[in-house]
Every structure is written in structure tokens, then in C-alpha cells.
A and B are shown apart, each in its own frame.
Chain A
Amino acid sequence: MASTAPLVVRASPLRRLQKELFGSRLDGLISIALLAALLAAGLGFFRWALFQAQWAVLSANSTLFAVGRYPVEQQWRLWLLTSLLALATGLSWGLLRAFPGSGAVRALWPRNDRWAASILVVLALWRPMALQLTLAIQARWWGIAALLLLARWAAGRYGPAIPQACRRLIPLFWPLLYLVGMVLISGGLGLVQVPPSEWGGLLLTVLMATFAILLCFPLGVLLALGRRSELPLLRWGSVIYIEFIRGAPLITLLFLGQNILGFLLPGGLAPDRVWRAAWVLTFFAAAYVAEAVRSGLAAVPAGQLEAARSLGLPMPLALIHVMLPQAIRVALPATVGQFITLLQDTTVLSLIGLLDLVGTARTVMANPMFLGKNAEVYLVLAILFWTCCAALGLGSRALETRLNTHSPSAPQA
């Protein structure tokens, strides 16, 4: 139909809206009723949010929501880590702009970036005040936001001046930061140990999610390759693993992990409760990532492997340099979707007694002082999770665009 339809001159948006909503008398009635209902709901929400809701439940417990029962005298380590993260984010952001994908135009502050920076500034200025944090802590957040933007500007401005040899080392900054972060959080190397049982809130949620996301991906790739292997033992092992995990609900696996790992491993080796949960999350997500990567591998034409092998590339090299780069590009959207699910699945940890964001929320709401403040807490948690997931989704789309500049359909350079 679309191909034969005549070209329609597009009416102005207002005119189209009018035509859609009030095309006929019945349409008009339905529209008015629905709009009235929406308006009532909106007004009700704002009345609640502005006059009835008591946001003190959040400002009074902001530290608990942020880091759980992390010892106060050690919290400087987390501030240091947040600053390092802001620095790394700013640098990476700026360098991405300094070296856009081939064909893209280089601009220090593209329009989307100006928007992102403005939102960041507004959030950084308003959020700490809205939570009624002490001035010292407000100032720290302002400093961290300023650091991020400064790094972003410096890297975007002076990035191209960095010599080639150093530039190769820059991506190593992130894994290094992860290791430094783990030491800062858990202690060791001269720092006081903070056991995982004292981690909580956003810290625990983010830690669990990043740990599982980082590890489930390589594991999933290996499983996907195993499932396509010609060696029966490897193939059937992968198939049984993937199908078993995909057939079991996460919550049962988490309970199983808490109970069974203690029996399987000798006492000292069995990881802490928190780490047990992290490993279960990792193994759980790996099975789904494996299926995404498998579909990506199936999308690569058979001739690619033949060509690679005919050039004398042994199987591992052919997989690494020819098959996987193409397969992962296809599997990327589904894989990031899995990461987003994984981030949301961390909320299940509250059911096995861990104090992640939702677990913290449940303890806070059990406090007689804040009884009945469920709506305020859950609304903020929902927005927080939505923001993280939206960021992941946006990041994945940016990555796709960047990869696609190298794809066959790219415009001629």
C-alpha cells in the first residue's frame, strides 16, 4: 500500500492532532473524556507530589540509599572513586568527540552534548539541595560534576594532541579503574577491609550489575561458540547449560546458589553471600547472552569462515578476527537488552536478604518513623532505575552508530 499511496502534503502538527482527536463527533467525545481523565490524573499526581508526599524519607536516609551501612570514616574512599569515575567518564566522552568515527564531523560540543551537559549541571545543582544534604556534601557533588565537565572539555580540546602511542593505552584506563575501584570499596593494600555485608544501596546494586555485566559477556561468547562447536562434549555441555539456566527462574537459582555453594566448596573457599549472588547473576545472564551471540554467529555467512580458513588462519584466529566482530555487531542490541534486564534483576537480590536499593527501601519503610511512605520511595527508585537503563540504551545506540560507520551500507567517505 505504502508504495502506491500518493504523496500527502504534511499538515501542521496542530492540524493533524485536531484531525486525529476530533475527526468525528464520536471521536471528539472519546477524546474529551480521555483528556479529562488524563488531566485529572496529572493534577492528582502533582497535588500529591507537591503537597502530600513527604520526601523526608529520602533525604533522611540518603546515605543509606547511596552506600548502605558502609562505615562513615571510610566513605572518603567512595568519594575518591566517584571522582575518578567522573574523571574517566569526562575523558572518554571528550576523546570520543575528539576522534569521531570515520565520516562523522568533528565538533567540540555537538548539540546533544550541550543538552547532556546542561542537564548534568541542573541535576548537580538541584539534586543535592533538594535532598537537603549538608553543605559539605553538596559542595562535593558540585565539585565532581565540575570535574567531569572539565575533563570532558580538556579531552575534547586537547585530545588530538596526544601522541598515537599513548592513545592506545587510554582504553586500558577503564579496566584499571575497575580494579582500583574494587580495592577502594573492599579494602586491602593497606586500606581497612570493609566486608561485603556492609555494602548496600546504590553501591551494591551498581557493583552487582557491573560485575555480572562484565563477566557474563565473555562467558556468553564462549558458551555460544561451544554450542556451535563440532566437538560433541563441548556442544552438548553448552546446550545443557544454556537450556537449564534459561528454564529456571532467577530466584530459584539465587536460593540454590546461597545454599548449595556452601556444600560444594570447602569452607574457606565458598564465597561470601554477596559474591555468591553476584556469581549466580553472572552465570544466569551468560546463558541469555550466549543465545544472543549465537544468533549473531548464525547471521555471518558461511563463506566468511571459509575465506578465513582458506587464508591459513587457524580456527581461534578466524573466530577472533573474522567471525566474532561481525557476530557481536549483530548481537549488540539483544545483548544490551540483556544487560538492562540484568540491571533490573539485581532487585531480586532483596529477596535473598541483600540490602541493594530495593532491600534498603524495604528496611527503611519498616522503620516506624517512615511507615506508609512506600509511594515516595518506590517512585524515586523507579526513576533511578529508568535513568540507568536509559543511559545503557543510549550508550548502545551510540556504539551501534559508531560501528555502523564501518559497515557495508556506510556512505562513501
Chain B
Amino acid sequence: MTSSPALMIEARGVEKWYPNGFHALRGVDLYVHQGEVVVIMGPSGSGKSTFLRTFNAMEDFQKGSIVVDGIEISDDLRRIDAIRREVGMVFQQFNLFPHLSVLDNLTLAPVKVRKRPKAEVERQALELLERVGIAEQAHKFPGQLSGGQQQRVAIARSLCMEPRIMLFDEPTSALDPEMVQEVLAVMQELARDGMTMVVVSHEVRFARQVASRVVLMADGEVVEVAPPQQFFTNPQHERSKQFLSQIS
């Protein structure tokens, strides 16, 4: 343990039932080390998004334990807010705040939650927008941007909180095909800079090029965890083979 990079996410035996009795997660384990990029794949309804959303307590769970960046998730609201400050999340539907300008979308949380001076945060926000390639849109409103631009703003918004972990919940699924690449490129650069990332996605090329490990989930369980090269060329489990044949 001492020689390997720090453990950022440690999920053990996580089980979740929805209020209607549906058993969404059936004892799932996952360990993510600092700087790793873990891509979770799986058919719809496999529980991959639900699992991802337990890492920042957007979903609760009934059994098992999750420790994020040394903080164990519990019902303690202060701990949950502490975790959310360290964990950024990017959603399928972008979820930008439509009544705020792009710049204000980025600065809201750092100013209100971290209590940082506004001028300093704005400088940082403009740098981040530069980095995701849309600095010139800083004063527009989200509704005036394309889907790809909105998702890049959403990534920059999360980064503005200086998170130690980034979660991506199907970040390119709601995008027109020609805009997928611009978002993936930003994510790829983020991975290169050493950000710890967990990504729920169907983008095989991204997983092949960027992922440290690929996780296949089905029916609320982890079926296979493997490096991308091995997962895509020589999957070990029948369920993995079946899934890969369906998406290719």
C-alpha cells in the first residue's frame, strides 16, 4: 500500500435497493487510485450510473461502505458536503444554470462554498475556459451555446472547484455525433494531467486510449475489471463478450 498511489475511492460490497424493491446494486467493489482513469461500461439498467452517483452521495445505498479521499460516506450532511467539494461531477444533460452567464456558472460554487475572492476565481475561471477552448463565450448564457460547448463549460465548472476526483456520467450521450470529439478531447487532456477520473461511457475509442482499467457491469454486479487492451481484445467473461459484440 505504501508504494502504490493513494487510494481515492474505496467501495466495498455496495448494495442498493430502490424504494420499489428493485435491487440495483448487488454487492459491488471498486478501488480507484490517484491518477487512474476507470471507465465503467455495461448495458442500460446495469446500475453503472447508480454506482457512479453513490461516490458523491447523489444516491444512497443500504449496505457496504464507500470511502472517498479518506472520508467515509454516511448520513452526516457535513461530511457529504465535504466530499462533494472534492469530487466534481459532469452530467449527461450538462445541467448548466441557464439563468447565469457562463462565467457565473463557473464562479458560483468557489465563491459561495469555498469563500474565495470573486476576482481571483474569475481569473481562474477564464483560464479554465481557455483550457477547454471557449474563453470567448465567457459572457454568454448557456442557452446560446452548442451542446458540445455546454458540456465543456460543465467540465470547466467542476474543475473550478479544484476537485481531486472527477466523475463523468455518460458525458457524450446527449451530444450530436460531431460534438462528441471536442468533449472527449478535453477529458483526455484532463486524464493526461493526472486527474483521477471515473467515467460511465460507451465510447470504446476513449476507453482504449485513456482508461487505466475498464469495468463491465451487468445486472447490478461487476462482471469484469481489466486493462482496456485485454478487455477489448480478450475478454474473460461470457457476459463481456456478449456486451462487446452488441456495441461493435
Contact = CB atoms under 8 A, between A and B. Distances in A.
Interface of A: 301, 303-304, 306-314, 317, 321-322, 325-326, 329, 406-410, 412-413
B140 A326 contact: no
Q: Please indicate which of the listed interface residues B58, B77, B99, B142 has the most CB atoms of chain A within 10 Å of its own CB.
A: B99
A322 B58 contact: no
A307 B93 CA distance: 10
B68 interface: no
Contacts of A308: 97, 109
B52 to A, nearest CB: 11
B5 to A, nearest CB: 24
18 contacts: A301-B95, A306-B91, A309-B58, A309-B84, A310-B56, A310-B58, A310-B84, A312-B81, A312-B113, A313-B108, A314-B77, A317-B112, A321-B108, A321-B112, A326-B98, A407-B141, A407-B143, A408-B143
A311 B108 contact: yes
> Which 4 interchain pairs have the tightest Cβ spacing?
A408-B143, A307-B95, A311-B109, A312-B85
A71 B56 CA distance: 66
Interface of B: 56, 58, 77, 81, 84-85, 87-89, 91, 93, 95-99, 108-109, 112-113, 139-144, 154, 157-158, 161
B140 A413 contact: yes
Nearest to A405: B141
B99 A406 contact: yes
A234 to B, nearest CB: 16
Contacts of B161: 311-312
B35 to A, nearest CB: 22
B99 A326 contact: yes
Contacts of A409: 143
A325 B97 CA distance: 10
A307 B158 CA distance: 9
Contact of A408 (B93, B95, B142): B142
A410 B109 contact: no
Contacts of B93: 301, 303
A303 B142 CA distance: 15
A306 to B, nearest CB: 6
Given A312-B85, A312-B113, 20 more contacts: A301-B93, A301-B95, A303-B93, A306-B58, A306-B95, A308-B109, A309-B84, A310-B56, A310-B87, A310-B91, A310-B158, A312-B81, A313-B112, A322-B97, A406-B141, A407-B98, A407-B141, A407-B143, A408-B142, A412-B144
Contacts of B58: 306, 309-310
B144 A408 contact: yes
A310 B98 contact: no
Contact of A410 (B84, B91, B144): B144
B165 to A, nearest CB: 12
A407 B141 CA distance: 8
A313 B95 contact: no
Contacts of A317: 112-113
A313 B109 contact: yes
Given A325-B99, A326-B98, A329-B99, A311 B84 contact: yes
A242 B87 CA distance: 39
Nearest to B57: A309
A344 to B, nearest CB: 32
Contacts of B154: 307
A188 to B, nearest CB: 39
A309 B108 CA distance: 12
A307 B142 contact: no
Contact of A307 (B85, B97, B112, B113): B97
A220 to B, nearest CB: 20
A310 B144 contact: no
Nearest to A322: B97
A313 B100 CA distance: 16
A239 to B, nearest CB: 21
A351 B95 CA distance: 51
A235 B197 CA distance: 38
Nearest to B142: A408
B113 A313 contact: yes
Most buried by B among A301, A314, A413: A314
A410 B140 CA distance: 10
Contacts of A311: 84, 88, 108-109, 113, 157-158, 161
B108 A314 contact: no
A312 B144 contact: no
A13 B176 CA distance: 47
Contacts of B97: 304, 307-308, 322, 326
Contacts of B157: 311
B94 to A, nearest CB: 8
Contacts of B81: 312, 314
A106 to B, nearest CB: 18
A4 B100 CA distance: 39
A373 B133 CA distance: 74
A409 B98 CA distance: 10
Contact of A303 (B95, B113, B139, B141): B95
Among B93, B139, B154, max chain A CB count under 10 A is at: B93
A315 to B, nearest CB: 8
A326 B141 CA distance: 14
Contacts of B84: 309-312
A306 B93 CA distance: 11
Contacts of A304: 95, 97
